[in-house]
A and B are shown apart, each in its own frame.
Chain A
Amino acid sequence: MPSLKVTGLTFSYGAQPLLREVAFELRPGDFMCVLGPNGSGKSTLLKLLTGFMKPAAGQVLLGGADTAGMDARRLAGLAAYVPSETTTPYDFSVRELVLLGRTARAGFWRGYSRQDEEAADRALAETGIAALAGRAVNSLSTGERQLAFIAQALAQEAKVLLLDEPTSHLDLKYKASVMALLAGLAARRLAVAAVLHEPALARPGCNKALLLGHGGEFSFGPAAQTLTRESLARLYGLPPSSPLLP
């Protein structure tokens, strides 16, 4: 069974269609990059997948279950989402922040259970930030904070992980380590989808690619066939000879 199956997904702000009958599916172990020019609907697509925004038409199945009308708590158990902007004015410790990933699984009123603590420990270890557990989130570097929010998403223990520009604002070393981390998560049977800005980053780790163009066109397929120089040049409106293309 696919972890995530999307059919006929359509959305528009006003009259201009942003996404038109987008369809794709991800299986356990898939790592998909979502590429496209600014304003092509990449971030909107992720929010439609989690039900945070409602599509005009189409269907999203998570683990085989239709997400239409599903409540936030159940959705959080099926798909975890890391937003592009991850700030809070309050000085939560990294461990407190990661434990909040257990919100949907823990009762609202009681303390965290042993399982919750263990899930947080695993997420901290997997993202390599166990040593930062006691630090205040706002004292971390941008890269460390991104890892903390990824750890929070992992603590949700959902089978689908969605990330909006997880590598923006990061230096090359952190970009590489975040991409390696995500590829590793896919290797342990998660389905991962990440909005990216640089096609070069997608090359090593992603096995699927979704390209979103203006006016609702899209193409989806195996990364090796989809991320060609010609298709990327067309996508970003660059000459095929551009040195910026991988």
Chain B
Amino acid sequence: MGKSKGLLLLLGLGAACLLSLAAGPAGLSPEIILNLRLPRTLAALAVGAGLGLAGALFQGALKNPLSDPYILGTSAGATAAAVFCFLAGIERSSPVFFAAVFAGAFGATFLSYWLARLAGRLSDAALVLAGVAVSAFLSALVMLVLSAARERAFSLFNFVLGGLYAAEPGVLLFSAAVIAAAGTLAALRWRALDAMSLGEEKAYHLGADPGRERLIFFALACAATSAAVAVGGTIGFVGLMTPHIIRLISGPSARTLIPASAIGGAALLACADAAGRLLFPPAEVPAGVIMALAGAPFFMWLLWKNSRGRA
């Protein structure tokens, strides 16, 4: 990535931050900006960075441009684990919560992968179908639990819908640290991710052990997704869209793709959250809904492009 493209990306991030700090029905009072919008903007940045990063890692490790934590069921696994933790009385600040959410994300991802692999050769379509099946089942499980536990359903419903409300500073800080660590470790292995994006067989013959690399990148992507879900619930399509946009700007190499997808995801989600505050004031549209509105057509476009041979 040239200096000018890096600068462009950082300018975009800065603009997204300013928009997120300024947007809202209550105007520009310093108190509101500092106490309400700043924490919320920071939450959007952390969650967006985690999801953008996870998307870049999944798309590379699976050689599949249609994958992201939402489509593979990673987010659904993390959300289901989080909801069960809430109902069991385990709060977000507890380390057990994070361990459980990570286990949920990792388990759901490997279940999708394993199901897609059952057919023999791993195809793009099989992976998407398996992810949809795993996501649908886990979401149904969450809805079942929410219907049964009515007294807590409202606050949990907001979480499941995906939105950035009042994030506890401790949780936000921990999540940001997890995402930064996962991003750093992934960035150090950029060459292995590039090898994997040529397919398992080619990666092996270039000298990267595909089984090991898949495990490493899945673990890093699941850690980033879990950290994002712990703060913002289920927000889809950030991980899908960001790497595609970044590749158009600075090319496919993971050396730039990994850091740039984290920055781009942060900017994208901050914009989506700001847009949610601006659309129907004084009502707020959750960032997850905005992302789905933008992301679902994007996904259809990718499917169409992929069916024509390349994406």
Contact = CB atoms under 8 A, between A and B. Distances in A.
Nearest to B193: A108
B144 to A, nearest CB: 37
Interface string A134-162: 00001000000000000010001000000
B206 interface: yes
A238 interface: no
Given A89-B306, A109-B190, A104 B64 contact: no
Given A72-B207, A100-B206, A89 B189 contact: no
Interface stretch (A7-15, A77-85, A220-228): A77-85
A80 B63 CA distance: 21
B201 interface: yes
Contacts of B139: none
Contacts of A101: 206
B77 to A, nearest CB: 25
A152 B198 CA distance: 12
B207 A138 contact: no
A96 interface: yes
Contacts of B202: 83, 86
Contact of B194 (A71, A72, A73, A100): A100
Contacts of B197: 88-90
B206 A89 contact: no
A118 interface: no
B191 A106 contact: yes
B189 A80 contact: no
A73 B203 CA distance: 10
B189 A108 contact: yes
Q: Of residues A72, A80, A87, A90, which shows the largest number of chain B Cβ atoms within 10 Å of its Cβ?
A: A90
A50 B205 contact: yes
A86 B191 CA distance: 19
A91 interface: yes
A70 B205 CA distance: 12
A236 interface: no
Give the interface SS of chain A, mostly helix, strand, loop or mixed: loop
A76 interface: yes
A76 B205 contact: yes
Interface string B225-260: 000000000000000000000010001110100000
Interface string B291-311: 000000000000000100011
A52 B206 contact: no
Nearest to B210: A72
Contacts of A81: 205
Interface string B181-206: 00000001111101101110110111
A2 B205 CA distance: 21
Contacts of B190: 108-109
Contacts of A73: 207-209
A96 B253 contact: yes
Interface in B36-50: none
B288 interface: no
A97 B202 CA distance: 11
A185 interface: no
Given A52-B204, A103-B206, A109-B189, A88 B247 contact: no
A143 B201 CA distance: 21
Interface in B163-190: 188-190
A75 interface: yes
B206 A108 contact: no
B73 interface: no
A93 interface: yes
B65 interface: yes
Nearest to A103: B206
Contacts of B65: 89-90
Interface string A43-55: 0000100101000
B64 to A, nearest CB: 7
User: Which of A71, A92, A103 has the most C-beta atoms of chain B within 10 angstroms of its own C-beta?
Assistant: A103
Given A83-B202, A108-B191, A138-B310, A92 B207 contact: no
Given A52-B204, A88-B63, A72 B189 contact: no
Contact of A104 (B207, B210, B310, B311): B207
Contacts of A88: 63, 197-199
9 contacts: A50-B204, A52-B201, A73-B207, A76-B205, A77-B207, A89-B65, A92-B251, A93-B251, A108-B190
Given A52-B204, A72-B204, 4 more contacts: A72-B205, A90-B247, A103-B195, A108-B188
9 tightest Cβ-Cβ pairs between the two chains A and B: A104-B207, A76-B207, A90-B252, A103-B206, A81-B205, A73-B207, A109-B188, A72-B209, A89-B65
